[in-house]
C-alpha cells in the first residue's frame, strides 16, 4: 500500500510518500515540500499548493492520503491557511477516488514514538530510524508528512489485517491501540450519559 502523507501549510506543505508492506514493513519512497510565495495573492498561493499536491498524487498514485487534522491554534491566520491547504489535499484525493484519513498531531506522535507529547526532534529521529534514512528529512514539514504517512500505516484500526497476529505489533503500536480503545470507551460512555 502506498501512503502519501500531507502536513498542510500555505507557505510550506510537506508531502511524504511511503510503502507499507507485509508485517508492517515500511519503505521510504519520496519526501518534499510544496511551496507558495507569501508575496502573491491568497488565491494564487492556494493554486500553487493545489497544483503541487496534484502533481505528487499523480506521480506516486497513492492508495491513501493521510492528512494532519487541523485544530484551532492561537494564530487565526495560520490555522486558516493550514485548513485551506488540508482542504485542497482532500479535494485532490477525492477527485481521484483516493481515500483520505485525518490524523491529529498527537496520534502521529503516539504512533511514531509511543509518546503523544514527543518533541519535534524525537519525531524526526524516529522517522529517520523507522524508514532507515541516512539523514533526517528537512525541513520539519517534510518529516511531519512522513510521520503522518507512518501513523496511518501503523494505525490500530488496521493493525490486524491479512492474517497478521498481535505479536507483529511494536510496543508503540500496542500502546496506541490500548489508548485508542480507552478513548473509544470514554466517548461511548459519554454518548450514553454514563
Catalytic residue ranges? 7, 68, 141
Cβ(64)–Cβ(3) under 8 Å? yes
Q: Is 32 annotated as a binding residue?
A: no
Burial of 159 (0-12, 13-18, 19+ CB in 10 A): middle
Give me the DSSP letters along 148-193.
Answer: HHHHHHT-GGGSS-TT--GGGS-HHHHHHHHHHHHHHHHHHHHHTT
Q: Is 141 annotated as a binding residue?
A: yes
Residue 44 is classified by DSSP as H
Helix (H) or strand (E) holding 10: none
Residue 53 to residue 10: CA distance in whole angstroms? 12
Q: Is 68 annotated as a binding residue?
A: yes
Task: Find residue 17's DSSP bridge partners.
Answer: 4, 30
**Binding site listing for Mg(2+):** 7, 68, 141
Known binding residues? 7, 68, 141
Amino acid at each position: 500500500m502506498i501512503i502519501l502523507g500531507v502536513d498542510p501549510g500555505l507557505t510550506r506543505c510537506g508531502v511524504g510518500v511511503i510503502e507499507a508492506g507485509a508485517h508492517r514493513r515500511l519503505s521510504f519512497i519520496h519526501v518534499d515540500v510544496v511551496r507558495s510565495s507569501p508575496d502573491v495573492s491568497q488565491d494564487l498561493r492556494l493554486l500553487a499548493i493545489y497544483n503541487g499536491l496534484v502533481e505528487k498524487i499523480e506521480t506516486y498514485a497513492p492508495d491513501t492520503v493521510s492528512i494532519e487534522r487541523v485544530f484551532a491554534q492561537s494564530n487565526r491566520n495560520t490555522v486558516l491557511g493550514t485548513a485551506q491547504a488540508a482542504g485542497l489535499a482532500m479535494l485532490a484525493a477525492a477527485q481521484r477516488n483516493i481515500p483520505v484519513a485525518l490524523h491529529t498531531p498527537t496520534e502521529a506522535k503516539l504512533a511514531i514514538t509511543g509518546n503523544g507529547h514527543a518533541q519535534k526532534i524525537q519525531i524526526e529521529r524516529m522517522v529517520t530510524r523507522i524508514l532507515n534514512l541516512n539523514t533526517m528529512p528537512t525541513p520539519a514539514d517534510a518529516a511531519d508528512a512522513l510521520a503522518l504517512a507512518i501513523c496511518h500505516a501503523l494505525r490500530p484500526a488496521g493493525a490486524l489485517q491479512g492474517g497478521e497476529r498481535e505479536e507483529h505489533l511494536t510496543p508503540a503500536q500496542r500502546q496506541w491501540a490500548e489508548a485508542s480503545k480507552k478513548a473509544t470507551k470514554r466517548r461511548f460512555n459519554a454518548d450514553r450519559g454514563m
